[in-house]
Structure formats: structure tokens, C-alpha cells
A and B are shown apart, each in its own frame.
Chain A
Amino acid sequence: MSHTIESIEFESSIEQENAEPNYLTASKGLKSWMFTLDHKRIGLMYLISIFTFFFVAGIFALLVRTELWRPTKLLMEAKTYNQFFTLHGAIMVFLVIVPGIPASLGNFALPLQLGAKDVAFPRLNLTSYYIYVIGAFFALFAIINGAIDTGWTFYAPYSLNTGGSVILMVTAVFILGFSSIFTGLNFIVTVHKLRAPGMTWFRMPLFVWGMYATSIIQVMATPVLAITLALLAIERGLGIGIFDPILGGDPVLFQHFFWFYSHPAVYIMILPGMAIISELITTFSQKKIFGYRLIAFSSIAIAVISFLVWGHHMFVSGQSELAGMVFSALTFLVAVPSGIKIFNWISTMHKGSISLKTPMLWALSFLFLFSIGGLTGVFLAVLSIDVHLHDTYFVVAHFHYVMVGGTMMAFVGGIYYWWPKMTGKMYSEKWGAIAAILVFLGFNLTFFVQFLMGSHGMPRRYYNYLEQFRTMHQFSTVGSYLLGFGFFLVLLNLLHSVARGERAPANPWHALTLDFTQTSSPVIEHNFHHQPTVHTGPYEYGE
């Protein structure tokens, strides 16, 4: 087969123009959204909810950083400060990052990439969204009714005896867990059963592999969190001794139960981000991904090993030294597949045809920031070094580098990438680039100094601090405002495109996956006019 060198035309059998309604216009009215079974509408509703909570939790973060401008009290009392950092963490983890990419972009794009009409269980999908909404209401109610000040980690016995709406909040998290489980279950079955004819496992896009690995974790780990929080609520409400030593319980047991979920949870957060990066790098280099199988297998390997390392959060908790040793060794093991992915992505760019459109800028940001996040994880895996760094700002910096510098960068890159499919509009590339650069700069200013603060001994969750840390804190606070502003620009950029953006072509990025080659912008209600069939791998740019 020969191709002209000057241009690659991708014929879409759908030239939509004004003729056909798309998934946004096919049915109208509030009820058509409230009772929709369309994965695209559900994904969009999730996206709006998730980003609303992102900004709410972001405001809590700005309040925390503002208070930390001075070593002593600036705006608020200690208890309020403690509530604000707790709510920042709890909202970000349970309402933003864990549902995050899977519930929004996963729902939207997974069926499209598979050539399917929808997910396997559309009603379960809508149910999972409503469970999310109910969980969110419980959380809001808890916040208004006394809030919590336990940290998002709810360690016992503090969480058993402190004031506030602990039981309400853990109930909210319990409910939200089911939203996560149902999404994961849905995706697993969809990937097994609804692939287009000819799409073997190794012809699936890597985004799908990443979502599949994530779904395994969601289904297997989340129930443990649910039970743990139920036990916490029961003990707090009924005084049954499980974790409180006064009642004969063991506080360290809570930590084991909690981290058994919460460590795999962070891979629920990063695997979808990595999945998006695979798509972005390959599309914006117009080159077959380097080491497809290794990237696919590394996602599964990470999912499995993630269940075996939870004790690295507990090296100084009182768990046995032997346990510490085993957890440290396994933690080093889990770092290797992530490193391989980074090298594979960079190799994909080698001799590619690289376009620096906005989604790619976010992907490059990811590569830079996630590398730092991952490497600082190595420090924390070393037993003797972790003793020094545990519970300091070093850990705070590490997890923000991977969760924001990793997951959020990929998330926003993915939103820009699929924006034409979701809205039929193109956003301004100029403002997209400006926002990306401001976020990158603001992020580094906020968090890089925190590594140094941490290694110099600045503890986490401190309302007041010693004078010697003042300058570093001030850098960080200024950075946080820049970061917030950058994200706000992203929001404006995207909203503006809906109102005034140019109409998007079917395949603006010349991607080769079905979500771009076989759909219109925006996508039609049933995704495809005819069932697509697949004869090759997803990234065959050469052929």
C-alpha cells in the first residue's frame, strides 16, 4: 500500500455537518440526561462533577497554603486548619482522583476505542453515577455538620474519639466505594465481551489495557476499604473494641487494613493516567508505541504487585522489622515497570513526527513531573532513609508529584485530546499552551521546595512551624496561587471553546484508534454507523 508523503487523509465514513444529531443533541431535556444510559453522557456528567470537586478541594488547599505563609497563626485556628487539610485530602482522593479518569474519560472513550456501542451494563453505569452523587451529598452533609480533622487517613484511636462528623464522612466514602467497584466491574466485562470483531487483546489500544488493570484493582481492593471504614464507624458508634487499645483493640491493625486498600488505590489513580499518556505520545509522534506488549504487561504487573506493598507506609508504625524488609523489597520491584514505561514513551518519540499541541504539552509535563515523583518514591522505599523522611513534607511532595504531576497532567491532557469528540469544538491552542506552562511552573514552585523542607525535617500536617522553614513555605504558597490560576485558565479555555470554539474535524490529531477514525465530532448517539472491524494493531502508522 502506498501513501502520499505530504498528507495522510483519514476517511471517516461519517461526514456529520448539520445533518445528523450527536449524543448531545439526540434527545433533549433534563430527564434525558438524568435517565440516560449513554456512556458518553454519563462520562460527561462525571467529568463535570469531578471537576467541580477538584476546584472545591483546590480552594481548601489554597486556604491551607495561605495559613502557612507565616510560622504562626495568620487567618484561622489550629482546629480549622486541621479540618481544611483533611477535607482537601479526603475530597481529592475520594471524589476526584479515584473516580477521576475512569469514570469520566474511561466511560467516554473506552467503548469507542473498543468499537462498542456502549459498556456491558449501561444501567449499572448510570447507577454508579448516582451512587457517586449520593456519596458526594453525604460528604457535603458531613462537612457542613462539623467536618472532620483526622487527616484523610482516619488513623485510630484519634479518629475514634475526636469530635466532628467522622461516621457521616466514612459512610460517604463507603458509598463512593461502590461507585468505583461498579465502574471497574463494568469495564472488565466490556473489555472481555464487547471488543470489535478482529480486535484481539494485543490489538487493543493501550488506554484500554490501562483501564482494565485499574478496574481489577478497583474491584478487588475497594471492598477492603469499605469494611475497614465500617469497622471504624461501628467502633466509634457502638464502642466495640477493634482498634482502640482502651477497649482491647490494636491501633496498628487499622493501619494495615487502611493501607491494604489505600496503596492499591494510588495505582487506581496513576494507571489510567499512564494509559492516557500512551495514547498521547503515540498520536502526537505519529509513531507506533515502543514496546507495546511490555507496556500492556507492566500495567497488569503494577496492578498485581500493588497489593503487596502496603506496609511501606508503616515502616515506623511498630510492625515487625521482617515485615518492613519484605515490603521494602517488593516496593523496589513495583518501581521497575513504571520506569520501563517512561523509557518506552521516550523511545516512541525518537524519530517521530512530533506535534506540540496542547494535549502533548500536558503529556510532556507528565513525563517530567512523574519522573521526579517516581524517583523520589525510591528514596522512600529505602528503609533507613524512610525512617528519616516518613511523615515529613518530602512525602507530601512525592505524592503530589505523582498524583498531580502524574495523574492530573494526564487527565487534563486527555480532556483536551478527547474534547473534540465530547463537544465537537476546538479550543484555543494559544491559551491551552499558556495554561499548561503556568500549571507546570506553578506546580514546581509549590512542590519542589517541599522535598527540601521535608529532608530538613519539616513534619506534615503542621499548623505552625519553626522559623527556619518560613522562606520555603512562602515559595510554596506563591506557587500554589500560580498553580490554581493555571488550572482556572484551563477551565476558562475549555468553557470558552464550547461557546465560541471552532468546529472540530472528525480526526484532528490523525490518531489511528477507532475513537477517532470511526466517529464524528461530537460522537453520534450510537457511536458508529456500522460495527467497525479491526485488522491491525492500534498504532500502525507505517502501514
Chain B
Amino acid sequence: MDNIKKLMEMVLPVDWMFSLLPVGASTQSIDVDPLFHFVYWFSIVVFMFVIIPMTWFCFRYRRRSEGQRALTQKDHNQLLEVTWSVGPLIFMAIFFVWGFYGFLNLYLPPLESKELKVIGQKWMWTVQYPDEEISVSGQGVVIGVPLGKPIRLLMSSQDVIHSFFVPNFRVKQDVVPGKYSTLWFESNKIGEFPVFCTEFCGDQHSAMLAKIKVMSPDDYKKWVTEQKEKDQGLPPVKLGEKLYHNKGCNACHSVDGSRVIGPTFKGLWGKSEQLTDGKSVTVDAERIHQKLMEPTKDVTAGYVPVMPSFKGQLSEIEISGIVEFIKSLK
């Protein structure tokens, strides 16, 4: 018996034949997986309702002689027609509502979620940890996260559209150049879970892999320390501070609250600003990105449009660092 099982395991993907989905390792999978199985069983039942009559009719009503006529020409059945129109419609409605709630959950990260910055580029992921002041990147990069804590990824692309996909968490979101997109998860299982880029992005699309390593809080702290000791890239806030000086932001923006030519960075994050045209805008990552790329658009009231554009001069990783630097100046 054991030998047969071993043989089967060599040839057939046995464990797969009994599971439709990979191990669920997030709170999202707790909601999505039952719905998936519900749709699956619905499909099996409907399929049986199609195939069994079809096969039976081919046998029972097969033409036995040339010119044999049909047994009836009846072409309507009110009860049947109403049943098979209304019945599926009811199931469709259930699937829709359940799926919509799951979807909303995916798009409403908890307020207390921990934010990591993700930048996709051909062909690797970079993940910055603003609080821990570390950054990891590369093909096959290990992205450490603590167990049981909601994590929110703020993502953008350096070049073309990528997509961040973690099958075990049932989450996915396109990573688009020119805008930020968000994805959140809370993992409930210790382990390493693959991350795939899942929007075609060129030659090494299939090499743009990563691993999310879910660890106990203690192990996570140890991992963070290890990363700090490795040369994995300047932590975001430090990177932002460096650029603040090297790119000349300090010429017009202070960090101590005094007004120079542009608004001070101190306390700027999260502030609501009025624009020259009367509209109001919050200072968030999008706003900072906009000011760096198209500074003469949507100017803050009371200031002049003299800021130069940094289009083509700052990578997404650097912009992310500037954002974190500004955020840190409370």
C-alpha cells in the first residue's frame, strides 16, 4: 500500500488532487476559501445537471433506425424554464454579495496596520520598512513580517505595470507607474510564502519573485537586526534626509518651522493645505509625489510657483525616502 502511495506521489500531484487552494495563511483566506468552495460545489452540481441528462439522452433516445422520429415535439415547459432561470440567478446574487463584502475587506486596511513601502521595477521588488529603518530588495528577496499584525503595502512602479501576488494570503494588486496602490494582509501562520509578479513585465517577469517570511514577534525583531547589519540599502528616512541636502530642497524648505521660499517640512505631513484656486488638499504621499513631478500645478495658496521639477531625476525608491523623511519631521 505504501509503495503504491509512493509511486502515486512520484507521478501524480496527489496532495493537489485533494485541495483546490494552497494553504491559507491570512485572515483573508478565512473569508475567501469557504466562498471558493461554495462556488465549486455549485459548479459541480450544475455540471451534473447538464452532463447526466445529456449522456442519458444520447443512450435512451438514440436513433435506432433510419427515419426514426422524435417522441415529442414539445418545446416549452414553463416550470422548468422558470426554475432554471430564477434558480441560478439566486445563487449568482449570493455569490455577488459575499464576494463584494470580501472585496471591500481587501480594500479597507485597518487603521492600525503597519505600512511598508514596495517598489516594483524590472525585475525585482524593493521593500522599505520606515519604522525599522531597513530596506530589502532583489530577486528572491525575503520580506519579513510579524505574525498576527496587519501589514499595509503602499506600492508603486519604477517603470511598467507589475503586480504583487501572494497566493497563500489570497491577495493581489497591480503595481502601476505614476500612481500608488495599496494591498493589506494579516498573516496567521508562521512560514515562508511565495510572492509572484503577476502582470507581464518583460524578459524576467517569471524571475521577479520574493518570499514573505512570517515570524513570531521575537524572531521578527532578530530578523530586523540582521537586516540592519547587512548592507541592504539606506533606510528610507536616512535616504530622504540625504536627498534633502543633495538635491537642494534645503534651499527653499526648512526643517525647523521657519518659512523660506517653500513651506517648511516640519509638521507638514498630514496637513490640509489650501491651493491658489481655492481647492484644498491633504499632504500625503500622492501630494508630495505630485509636487516633485509637476511642481507648478496645484500651487499652495500664499506661495509662488518657482519650484523646479525633479521628473527623471528621482527614482521611486528615492521619492519614497523623501516622503518618509518629511513624515518624520513632526
Interfacial residues, chain A to chain B (CB-CB below 8 A) = 4-8, 78-79, 82, 149-151, 155, 157-158, 161-162, 245-246, 249-252, 285-292, 294, 315-318, 321, 324-325, 328-329, 332-333, 335-336, 339-340, 342-343, 346-356, 364, 367-368, 371-372, 375-376, 378-379, 381-388, 390-392, 452, 455-457, 459-466, 471-472, 510, 540-542
- Identify the closest chain A residue to B36 (Cβ): A385
Number of residues in B with C-beta < 8 Å to the partner?
93
Question: Residue B198 contacts which of A249, A285, A459 (CB distance < 8 angstroms)?
Answer: A459
- Please report the C-alpha to C-alpha distance between residue A332 and residue B199 in the assembled complex, in whole angstroms: 25
CB contacts (< 8 Å) of B74 on chain A: these are: 351
Interfacial residues, chain B to chain A (CB-CB below 8 A) = 11-13, 16-17, 20-22, 28, 31-32, 35-36, 39-40, 42-43, 46-47, 50-51, 53-54, 57-58, 61-63, 65-77, 80-81, 84-85, 88-89, 92-93, 95-96, 98-107, 159-161, 163, 165, 167-168, 170-174, 176-179, 181, 194, 196-207, 311-312
- On whether A354 and B57 interact (CB within 8 A), knowing A286-B70, A372-B47, A471-B13, the answer reads yes
CB contacts (< 8 Å) of B39 on chain A: these are: 378-379, 382, 385
CB contacts (< 8 Å) of B69 on chain A: these are: 5, 8, 286, 353, 541
CB contacts (< 8 Å) of A149 on chain B: these are: 202
The 4 closest A-B pairs by CB, nearest first: A245-B178, A457-B167, A384-B102, A542-B73
Asked if A464 and B99 make an inter-chain contact with CB atoms under 8 angstroms apart, the answer reads: no
Asked if A391 and B163 make an inter-chain contact with CB atoms under 8 angstroms apart, the answer reads: yes
- Identify the closest chain B residue to A472 (Cβ): B13
- Please report the C-alpha to C-alpha distance between residue A115 and residue B22 in the assembled complex, in whole angstroms: 57
Asked if B100 and A463 make an inter-chain contact with CB atoms under 8 angstroms apart, the answer reads: no
Asked if B47 and A375 make an inter-chain contact with CB atoms under 8 angstroms apart, the answer reads: yes
Asked if B11 and A471 make an inter-chain contact with CB atoms under 8 angstroms apart, the answer reads: yes
Asked if A383 and B102 make an inter-chain contact with CB atoms under 8 angstroms apart, the answer reads: yes
- Please report the C-alpha to C-alpha distance between residue A474 and residue B303 in the assembled complex, in whole angstroms: 65
- Identify the closest chain B residue to A510 (Cβ): B67
Asked if A464 and B107 make an inter-chain contact with CB atoms under 8 angstroms apart, the answer reads: no
Instruction: With both chains docked as a complex, state the minimum distance between the C-beta of A352 and any C-beta of chain B, in angstroms.
Output: 4
19 contacts between A and B (CB under 8 A): A158-B202, A318-B176, A318-B179, A332-B96, A346-B53, A351-B61, A353-B70, A372-B47, A375-B47, A381-B92, A382-B39, A382-B99, A384-B99, A387-B32, A455-B20, A456-B22, A457-B22, A462-B205, A510-B67
Asked if A339 and B84 make an inter-chain contact with CB atoms under 8 angstroms apart, the answer reads: yes
Asked if B202 and A316 make an inter-chain contact with CB atoms under 8 angstroms apart, the answer reads: no
Interface centre among B53, B58, B179 (most CB of A within 10 A): B58
Asked if B22 and A384 make an inter-chain contact with CB atoms under 8 angstroms apart, the answer reads: no
Instruction: With both chains docked as a complex, state the minimum distance between the C-beta of A135 and any C-beta of chain B, in angstroms.
Output: 24
- Identify the closest chain A residue to B84 (Cβ): A343
- Please report the C-alpha to C-alpha distance between residue A78 and residue B63 in the assembled complex, in whole angstroms: 54
- On whether A368 and B172 interact (CB within 8 A), knowing A290-B76, A294-B81, the answer reads no
Instruction: With both chains docked as a complex, state the minimum distance between the C-beta of B73 and any C-beta of chain A, in angstroms.
Output: 4
Excluding A385-B35, A461-B200, A541-B70, 15 further A-B contacts by CB distance (< 8 Å) are: A78-B203, A78-B206, A155-B160, A157-B161, A286-B68, A329-B96, A346-B54, A378-B39, A379-B36, A379-B40, A384-B101, A387-B32, A387-B103, A460-B200, A461-B206
- Please report the C-alpha to C-alpha distance between residue A396 and residue B63 in the assembled complex, in whole angstroms: 38
Instruction: With both chains docked as a complex, state the minimum distance between the C-beta of A343 and any C-beta of chain B, in angstroms.
Output: 5
- Identify the closest chain A residue to B57 (Cβ): A349
Instruction: With both chains docked as a complex, state the minimum distance between the C-beta of A52 and any C-beta of chain B, in angstroms.
Output: 28
CB contacts (< 8 Å) of A292 on chain B: these are: 75
- On whether A387 and B35 interact (CB within 8 A), knowing A157-B161, A471-B13, the answer reads no
Asked if B22 and A351 make an inter-chain contact with CB atoms under 8 angstroms apart, the answer reads: no
Asked if A158 and B200 make an inter-chain contact with CB atoms under 8 angstroms apart, the answer reads: yes
CB contacts (< 8 Å) of A368 on chain B: these are: 50-51, 54
- Identify the closest chain B residue to A78 (Cβ): B203
CB contacts (< 8 Å) of A383 on chain B: these are: 99-100, 102-103
Question: Residue A356 contacts which of B58, B88, B177, B198 (CB distance < 8 angstroms)?
Answer: B58
- On whether A463 and B99 interact (CB within 8 A), knowing A336-B85, A354-B62, A387-B106, the answer reads no
Instruction: With both chains docked as a complex, state the minimum distance between the C-beta of B171 and any C-beta of chain A, in angstroms.
Output: 7
Asked if B163 and A350 make an inter-chain contact with CB atoms under 8 angstroms apart, the answer reads: no
